Every structure is written in C-alpha cells, then in structure tokens.
Amino acid sequence: MPVKTIINKAKVPIKIYTEDIDSGAIDQLTDIAQLPFIHSHIAAMPDVHLGIGATVGSVIPSRGAIIPAAVGVDIGCGMNALRLSLNANDLPDSLKKTRLAIEETIPVGFNMHKSIKVQNSTIKSLNKGLDAIVDKHPAIFKMLRKPHITWSQQLATLGGGNHFIEICLDENQAVWVMLHSGSRGIGNVIGRYFINLAKKDMEQHIRQLPHRDLAYFTEGAKHFDDYVEAVHWAQDYALSNRREMMRLILEKLRKVFPHFEITKEAINCHHNYVSVEEHFGEQVYLTRKGAISANDGELGIIPGSMGAKSYIVRGKGNAESFCSCSHGAGRKMSRSAAKKHFNTEDVELQTEGVECRKDKGVIDEIPSAYKSIDEVMANQTDLVEVVHTLKQVVCVKG
C-alpha cells in the first residue's frame, strides 16, 4: 500500500504508511519534523508507535546532523536468520529439550558467558576500536561495572525485553533459525553517554528544541566525529554479537541433528542505526529507529510476536520510504499495561503450539500486546515483497 497519511504541521511533511497511529507518536514525529536539518520529509513505517527519545518505526534523514536519542540506546539492534537443510519431519515431537539446550548455550537477560566464547581475532578487532573511543571518553567505562569483562563476555548473548531466538518452519516446512539482539550493555552505555553529552553541548540552545531528547550533534561540532565513531563501533559489535550467537546455536543443534547444512545465506540486518545514504539528490545521515533497509532486491527480516508469523522479505527500493520498511509488528500496548491486562493463561492460549516459556516473566511480550503482523505487512506492499513466511515452533525469550 502507498502512504496512508500525510501530516503537514511542521517544517517538513510526515508520511505515514498506516492509519493505526496514536496521538503521542504523531506529536513525537511532529517534534522531529520541526528540526531545521531534516531533509525532504520523515517516513513512518506501518509498525510505528511512541518511543523513548524518538518514535519507533521512524526514518529520519538529516543534513549535517545526528540525533543520538533517535538512534537510541539499543544501537545496532537487529535480526539474523538462516535456513537449514532440515524440515519439520526431522524435528522431535517434543521440542522442550531443544529449547532448554539453547537456553543453556546462550545467556539471556543481564547474564553473560563465564568466559569469552568468540574468536580472539574478533575480540582484538573490537577492542582496538573501543580503546580509541574510551581514550577520548573514559566515562564510558566508568558507567560499566566490569567494563573489560562485560563487553567481551556479553558477545554471543541475547539480552532481555523483546529479544529472542526462534526455530521456525517456512511455507515449505523447511527449518530456519532466527534471532533478534543488539549491542548489549556496552551499546546501551554508549547510547546513554552520547545522548547526555548532546544535551550538555546544547545547554544554551536546548530550550529552543521541541523536546530535550532531540538534542543533536552537528558536523564540525566538538563531539560529532566521536559519536559517529562510537555508534558505528556499537553497530559492528551488534553484528558480531548476532553472528557469534548464531554460531553457538548451530554448534548445539549439530549435537542433536548432526547432518544438516545451511541452505540459505544468513541475513544480518540492523533496525536501530544510522548510515550515510543518498536520497532525493542529497547525501544524508539516515537514522532508522525500528526500521530496516529495503533497497531494491535487498533481503530483510520482519518478525511478528512470539506467537505470530514472521517474514523474509525482498526490498522494492521505494524512494518515499527512503528505501525502508517496518522492523516488526510494533507494540500497541506498553509493557506495564500488558502485565495488568493479561495473565499466564492468556500467554498459554496465545502461544499454543510454540515451545516457549509461558510464565509471568513473559506476559509483557504476549502477542496481543503487539499490532497485527498481517495488517502491518498489508500496509507495506509498496515497500517489500514476501519471499518466505515463517512460523516459530521454538521461542527463547530474553
């Protein structure tokens, strides 16, 4: 579907690919559209909803400036998926042991590995880049309890919230492994540090902003290059985290299913990040907060909730969306509201047929707390085409 709603209340238009958007998200998008450096317009994806700092599901093109809070604190958060040579008939009737094996292999929540689980070359490469950042901004390490241990031993870990690992079946009953995670504690610290630094740098001008969270760095300013360096490091860390997590999962699965091969190349894509791209004749810093790149022919992943379908998609390179699409279903209910409204019986009912935790610790991730993934997909047929439809049979939640 084309753009459903256009809002012209600010300096640039806001083009929204859904009619299902709350007033808080509209206000937040309008605040961003008031900024003087926004290029052309702002695009809001079909899963758009109110976020912290900036709207989730927004695509923000900026000339010579970046808003750290728009990138957020889960820098580089994104998806990884690959298809195996296994099919549904190869899986056991009960998948509980498979779920427990994955949970035993991959720490979740705030947990980390007891020792480093990734190749030394990966650690050395990341360490070199991080040292250069921390030399200029030592307060970053002070914000971590055990800095050198935390970031290295959190590589190949899941995290909490809506992060997950799933085993899925596609429309041909082929088995996929799919996961969702980001830059963990170190990315969170880098995000919070530079968000606060931007506010301090703009102390004399911050009252002129529509909202304090929209404090920004401009090219040539004192900390602009440092932020660009740090945010790209965190994005690289997130890619490595997903890649190494997938490697450990496959090693564990090979002990149960020793003869499978990978039959579809891994898709590893960010959905909270900033990149330099050209749109409408100008090179810009493009921030995707809860959106993925959907260039013509580019593969991406759009997951549903823990009881719904997910999609492997191919981008159509739609210019109006800045070659972007949604990153998932998008929340329609806050975590606290979901906990008040639903109980464990609701979780059991809505995740029927999925081997997953069904305790009170995952009530906030219940499928009904999210928008309909079918409606979200119907609203972005101009942006992507579906290549594979996946349905989870195992779900490990953070």
Once rounded to an integer, what is the mean pLDDT over residues 295-324? 96
Whether 341 is catalytic is no
Distance between CA atoms of residues 118 and 151, nearest Å: 12
Radius of gyration for the alpha carbons in the chain, expressed in angstroms and rounded: 21
pLDDT at 102: 97
pLDDT at 333: 92
Q: Give the list of residues 6+ apart from residue 27 with CB closer than 8 angstroms, or none.
A: none
Position 205 confidence tier, pLDDT thresholds 50, 70, 90: confident
Q: What is the pTM of this model?
A: 0.95
Position 149 confidence tier, pLDDT thresholds 50, 70, 90: confident
Position 144 confidence tier, pLDDT thresholds 50, 70, 90: confident
Give me the helix-helix angle, 224-256 and 184-201, nearest 10°. 170
26-67 pLDDT tens trace = 999 999 999 999 999 999 999 999 998 899 999 999 999 999
Query: Does pLDDT of 148 surpass 80?
Result: no
pLDDT at 329: 94
Distance between CA atoms of residues 329 and 215, nearest Å: 28
Distance between CA atoms of residues 224 and 67, nearest Å: 10
pLDDT at 207: 81
- Asked whether 64 and 217 are in contact (CB, 8 A), the reply is no
Residues in the chain: 398
154-193 pLDDT tens trace = 999 999 989 999 999 999 999 999 999 999 999 999 999 9
- H helix intervals, 72-223: 96-105, 120-136, 139-142, 147-153, 184-201
pLDDT at 358: 95
Query: Does pLDDT of 4 surpass 80?
Result: yes
How distant, in Å, are the alpha carbons of 41, 197, 247 from that of 18? 16, 34, 37
225-281 pLDDT tens trace = 999 999 999 999 999 999 999 999 999 999 988 789 999 888 999 999 999 999 999
Catalytic residue of the set 271, 327, 341, 388: 327
DSSP string, 310-358: EEEEEE---TTTTSEEESSS-BSS-HHHHHHH--HHHHHHHTTT-EE--
Phi, psi of 331, deg, nearest 5:
-70, 145
pLDDT at 35: 96
Distance between CA atoms of residues 194 and 225, nearest Å: 12
Query: Does pLDDT of 206 surpass 90?
Result: no
Tokens of 226: 């440092």
Position 147 confidence tier, pLDDT thresholds 50, 70, 90: confident
Query: Does pLDDT of 78 surpass 90?
Result: yes
In the block, residue with structure tokens 């490091």: 233
Distance between CA atoms of residues 215 and 166, nearest Å: 37
Return left, alpha or beta for 76; rule: phi > 0 is left, psi -120 to 50 is alpha, else beta: left
Once rounded to an integer, what is the mean pLDDT over residues 284-290? 98
Average pLDDT value over all residues in the chain: 95
| Among the listed residues 145, 82, 135, the one whose alpha carbon sits nearest the alpha carbon of residue 112 | 145
pLDDT at 45: 98
Query: Does pLDDT of 136 surpass 80?
Result: yes
350-398 pLDDT tens trace = 999 999 999 999 999 999 999 999 999 999 999 999 999 999 999 999 8
Tell me what percent of the residues of the chain surpass a pLDDT of 70.
Answer: 100
pLDDT at 95: 96
Tell me what percent of the residues of the chain surpass a pLDDT of 90.
Answer: 91
